[in-house]
Structure 1
Amino acid sequence: MSATDKIKNAIEDVEGKAKEALGKVTGDRSTENEGKKDQAKSDLKNAGENVKDAFKH
């Protein structure tokens, strides 16, 4: 996994956490769920990249 990919995934995860928190504070379930979705997408990308890395070695 390249450093750029790691940074992009970390940013996406942080943005997701921020959206989720904003949704909780404002009572906006849609924003909260969107944040959770962004975090899940980031986790899946990280898992995929880890699998790729495992087969490189």
Structure 2
Amino acid sequence: MAGDQKAKAKAEQAKGKAKEAAGRAVGNERLEAEGRAEQSKGDARQAKEKTKDVFRH
């Protein structure tokens, strides 16, 4: 399960970076903001998984 969540976190971060870059390229501030939000969500998920790993070992 943890591996699945880590993969979701990485996917969200990558998707967010792509959205942010696309928004910046076309001048769409909303798309850029959505990308940053997705990256933050991925960062939070990744931090949660790292915390769980610390307590497992």
TM-score with structure 2 setting the length? 0.90
- Residue 3 of structure 1 and its aligned partner are, at CA, apart by 1.6
**Cα deviation per residue 1:10-41 (whole Å; 9 max; x = unaligned)?**
11111100100010011000000100010011
How many Å separate the matches in 2 of 1:15 and 1:42?
Answer: 9
Aligned identity (percent) is 42
Q: Which runs of 5+ in 2 are unaligned?
A: none
- Give me the whole-angstrom Cα distance separating, in 2, the residues matched to 1:15 and 1:8: 10
Provide the aligned C-alpha RMSD in A: 1.2
Q: How do 1:14-53 and structure 2 match up within 5 A? A: 14-53=14-53
